[in-house]
């Protein structure tokens, strides 16, 4: 059995630890900051996109997401002068060069305080003012699955705490059990689509707080299966990209509650164009969560089925999901 499969299937233990660690962590006062910046590289940049959207939605305060390399090389795009700022750095290893250097630069220039979310207590967390470490999210595989999900649960709980929403934190306690039930129910369905090698392109649609997650599952499909895949906001998909939809395309919808009717219309249009369709939602979808957890804090449940889809496709194509082509677990650069 591959490390990737084991890490996907065991991830709910890391979710539980992420909740525990975030509930007990010493966190900053949200009123102290006029802007919160989330940063990471690769998967954790996509996590930052989801986190910034959720932070602003729950707290009503300004939040931005930027790749670690851009924060290092082009900080003026997001860092502002003469305002109070919190930098939230997200890194599986805690050693990714761009993220570490960007955090060092941010602190050196006196831009604000630093919160680190990671699976390892490494060089990044050692310069933090605040930190949340989830050791059970650690992985052997190159592609992030368990680690990403654990850090996403942590950042979701962080946003709830910063918003003073203890009700959401309490509700999140149901997530590990809901995730375990979900993986049992949906693996065969995810495997069937993943193993369908007649499909040569995958499009992942997600809007609002789900767009960053659509980007991440798109990356898993690229990394593990070497398959053409792209993420889009639901309504944006109509503006050109749908020209690529045909019988060899799969369109995967990370559907919301509040905008379900609009999002389902897009999915129905793509089905009419011949695509293989899969939508995921709390209820009334191809894959249902049935979690009874509020929408804002249950989005981690989109991940397991789509991670399993990528894993089974990798195996069907004769690839090694633990060691994707041309990749290493940690990117270190001479900067």
pLDDT of residue 55: 98
What's the rounded Cα separation, in Å, for the pair 214 and 191?
Answer: 19
Among all chains, which residue has been given the structure tokens 């059995």? 1
pLDDT digit string, tens, across residues 94-153: 999 999 999 999 999 999 999 999 999 999 999 999 999 999 999 999 899 999 999 999
pLDDT digit string, tens, across residues 108-124: 999 999 999 999 999 99
On whether the CB atoms of residues 99 and 91 are closer than 8 A, the answer is yes
To 10 degrees, what angle do helices 43-59 and 211-225 make? 170
Look up the pTM and report it.
0.96
Q: What are the E-state strand segments in the chain?
A: 35-40, 63-67, 85-91, 112-118, 130-133, 201-206, 228-232, 249-254, 276-281, 287-288
pLDDT of residue 329: 55
Which tokens go with 276? 């293989």
pLDDT of residue 291: 98
On whether the CB atoms of residues 305 and 255 are closer than 8 A, the answer is no
For the chain, domains (ranges, CATH) are 3-172 (3.40.50.10490), 175-316 (3.40.50.10490)
Mark the ranges of the chain whose per-residue pLDDT is less than 70.
Answer: 326-335
On whether the CB atoms of residues 37 and 62 are closer than 8 A, the answer is no
Cβ contacts of 13 within 8 Å, gap of 6 or more: 136, 176
């Amino acid at each position: 059995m591959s490390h990737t499969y084991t890490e996907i299937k065991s991830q709910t233990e890391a979710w539980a630890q992420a909740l525990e660690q975030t509930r007990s962590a010493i966190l900053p006062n949200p009123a102290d900051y006029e802007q919160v910046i989330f940063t990471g590289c690769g998967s954790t940049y996509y996590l930052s996109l989801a986190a910034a959207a959720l932070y602003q939605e729950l707290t009503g305060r300004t939040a931005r997401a930027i790749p670690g390399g851009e924060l290092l090389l082009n900080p003026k795009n997001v860092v502002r002068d003469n305002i109070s700022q919190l930098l939230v750095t997200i890194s599986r290893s805690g050693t990714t060069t761009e993220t570490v250097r960007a955090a060092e630069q941010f602190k050196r220039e006196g831009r604000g305080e630093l919160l680190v979310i990671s699976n390892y207590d490494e060089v990044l967390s050692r310069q933090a003012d605040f930190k949340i470490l989830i050791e059970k999210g650690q992985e052997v595989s190159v592609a992030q699955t368990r680690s990403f999900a654990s850090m996403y649960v942590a950042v979701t709980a962080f946003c709830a705490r910063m918003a003073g929403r203890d009700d959401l934190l309490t509700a999140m306690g149901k997530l590990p059990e809901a995730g375990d039930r979900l993986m049992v129910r949906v693996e065969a369905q995810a495997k069937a689509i993943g193993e369908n090698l007649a499909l040569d392109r995958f499009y992942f649609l997600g809007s609002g707080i789900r767009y960053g997650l659509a980007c991440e599952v798109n990356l898993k499909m690229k990394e593990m299966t070497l398959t053409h895949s792209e993420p889009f906001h639901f309504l944006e998909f109509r503006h050109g990209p749908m020209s690529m939809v045909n019988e060899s395309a799969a369109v995967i919808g990370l559907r919301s509650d509040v905008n379900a009717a609009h999002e389902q219309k897009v999915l129905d249009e793509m089905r009419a164009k011949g695509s293989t369709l899969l939508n995921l939602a709390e209820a009334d979808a191809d894959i249902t969560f049935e979690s009874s957890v509020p929408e804002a804090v249950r989005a981690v449940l989109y991940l397991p089925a789509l991670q399993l889809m990528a894993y089974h496709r990798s195996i069907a194509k004769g690839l090694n999901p633990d060691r994707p082509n041309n990749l290493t677990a940690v990117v270190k650069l001479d900067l």
